[in-house]
């Protein structure tokens, strides 16, 4: 009967929901344990990978984006698209994000000692981190500890993060920019920024979201969106970075539109530290 079927259905969904909630809880616990062991290099389950950003003017690597990787003994390699939201919802992003900032600075210092300079490292910052009172002290402390000037790093916040709590955000961004740290708006074009607000933010560049780049050659709408965002950014005095550049056609298209920097698999996937060092050394060899 329909009533029984309905009840069964209900039970079916309830058990499925419990199952996924259980799995999520397991992952949250695994994440908590992983963060607890972050200070022990032998057992650290996290690593930063680095993806180059290339200048369209001269083909040189101008920056690297630091991207967090987690290899769990239980779940294996977990995508940040999966564990970052859990970390954000549970507050675990605070200690994890602190580690990302410290580890980025440590590795920049290491790069400098290997003779690699003039490549800035972009660090992704979540909304909660941005609003935490300690962010400024933390960034200042990590830079000082590794003898870096503020131009060694750049902070990326997503367009939606920038749009939450506009007044608080503006205040914090002003303080960071006042320290000499460059700021970029990530995933630009997917949020709902008000241009009136955007023009007041002390930002240096916009990162054109990958979704517009994907079909740039075949979808006239995406091509016009890219052209419009690049023109808008330039009119506001900002630099443009395109994400997710996978083909030579996309690269040529974006270069023709005047996009300043390109990032994507066409140049390199995000690489572990040792491999990005080799990549940068090979690039230096080519350009000299
Ligand atoms: P995002 O900041 O927009 O980073 C770009 C993402 O696009 C990365 O995914 C990168 O691997 C991927 N990507 C780069 N080039 C290409 C390409 O040519 N094709 C395709 N299909 N993908 C490309 P990833 O590493 O999986 O990171 C996903 C997101 O997780 C990041 O998006 C960022 O929002 C977040 N995330 C990663 N690391 C951190 C971190 O340390 N802190 C915070 N708060 N968020 C992070
Ligand atoms: Mg990013
Ligand atoms: Mg992005
Ligand atoms: Mg993205």
pLDDT averaged per 10 residues in sequence order, the chain, 288 residues: 47 56 92 91 92 97 98 96 96 97 98 94 97 94 98 96 91 96 95 82 96 93 94 95 97 97 98 97 73
Q: Are the C-beta atoms of residues 119 and 81 closer than 8 Å to each other?
A: no
In this structure, the residue with its CA closest to atom 3 of ligand 1 is: 187
Q: 118-137: string of b/e by CB count within 10 Å (b at 16+)?
A: ebbbbbbbbbbbbebeebee
* Ligand that comes closest to the CA of residue 184: 2
Rounded to whole angstroms, the Cα distance separating 122 from 124 reads 7
Q: Are the C-beta atoms of residues 30 and 75 closer than 8 Å to each other?
A: yes
Q: What is the pLDDT of residue 18?
A: 59
Q: What is the pLDDT of residue 284?
A: 81
Q: What is the pLDDT of residue 196?
A: 80
Ligand 1 pocket, residues with Cβ under 6 angstroms: 51, 67-68, 79-81, 84, 97, 100, 124-126, 186-187, 210, 243-246, 264-265, 270
Q: What is the pLDDT of residue 19?
A: 57
For the record, the structure tokens of 45 come out as 């389950």
Ligand 4 centroid distance, CA of 132 (Å): 23
Read out DSSP for 93-147? HHHHHHHHHHHHHHHHHHHHHTT--S-EEEEE--HHHHHSTTHHHHHHHHHHHTT
Q: What is the pLDDT of residue 5?
A: 47
Tell me the Ramachandran region of residue 262: left when phi exceeds 0, alpha when psi lies from -120 to 50, beta otherwise.
beta
Ligand 2 centroid distance, CA of 5 (Å): 47
Rounded to whole angstroms, the Cα distance separating 261 from 243 reads 9
Which whole-number Å values give the CA distances from 56 to 63, 102, 188, 241, in the listed order? 13, 30, 19, 10
Ligand 1 centroid distance, CA of 78 (Å): 13
Q: Are the C-beta atoms of residues 51 and 57 closer than 8 Å to each other?
A: no
Pocket test for ligand 1, best of 205, 243, 251, 263 (most atoms within 8 A of CB): 243
What residues have CB less than 8 Å from 42, skipping those under 6 apart?
Answer: none
Q: What is the pLDDT of residue 242?
A: 98
Ligand 2 centroid distance, CA of 124 (Å): 5
Q: How many residues does the chain have?
A: 288
In this structure, the residue with its CA closest to atom 7 of ligand 1 is: 244
Q: What is the pLDDT of residue 286?
A: 59
Distance between alpha carbon 206 and the CA centroid of its chain, in Å?
Answer: 12
In this structure, the residue with its CA closest to atom 25 of ligand 1 is: 67
Rounded to whole angstroms, the Cα distance separating 206 from 191 reads 12
Rounded to whole angstroms, the Cα distance separating 154 from 124 reads 9
Q: What is the pLDDT of residue 4?
A: 47
Which is the closest atom of ligand 1 to the Cα of 88? 44
Helix H or strand E encompassing 182: strand 182-188
Which is the closest atom of ligand 1 to the Cα of 49? 25
């Amino acid at each position: 009967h329909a009533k029984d079927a309905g009840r069964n259905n209900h039970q079916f969904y309830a058990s499925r929901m419990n199952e996924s909630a259980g799995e999520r809880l397991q992952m949250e616990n695994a994440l908590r344990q992983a963060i607890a062991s972050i200070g022990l290099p032998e057992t650290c389950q996290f690593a930063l990978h680095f993806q180059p950003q290339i200048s369209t003017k001269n083909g040189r690597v101008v920056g690297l984006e630091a991207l967090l990787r987690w290899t769990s003994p239980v779940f294996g390699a977990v995508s940040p698209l999966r564990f970052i939201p859990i970390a954000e919802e549970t507050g675990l992003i605070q200690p994890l994000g602190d580690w990302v900032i410290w580890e980025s600075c440590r590795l920049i210092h290491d790069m400098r000692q290997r003779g690699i300079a003039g490549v800035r490292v972009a660090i992704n910052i979540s909304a909660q981190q941005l609003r935490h009172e300690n962010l400024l002290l933390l960034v200042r402390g990590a830079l000082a500890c590794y003898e870096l000037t503020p131009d060694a790093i750049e902070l990326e916040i997503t367009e939606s993060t920038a749009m939450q709590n506009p007044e608080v955000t503006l205040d914090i961004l002003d303080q960071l920019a006042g320290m000499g740290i460059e700021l970029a708006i990530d995933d630009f074009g997917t949020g709902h920024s008000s241009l009136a607000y955007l023009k007041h933010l002390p930002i240096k560049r916009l990162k054109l979201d990958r979704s517009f780049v994907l079909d740039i050659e075949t979808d006239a709408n995406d091509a016009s969106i890219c052209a419009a965002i690049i023109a808008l950014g330039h009119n506001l005095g900002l630099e443009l970075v395109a994400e997710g550049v996978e083909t030579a056609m996309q690269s040529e298209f974006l270069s023709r539109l005047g996009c300043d920097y390109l990032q994507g698999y066409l140049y390199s996937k995000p690489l572990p530290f040792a491999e990005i060092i080799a990549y940068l050394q090979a690039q230096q060899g080519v350009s000299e």
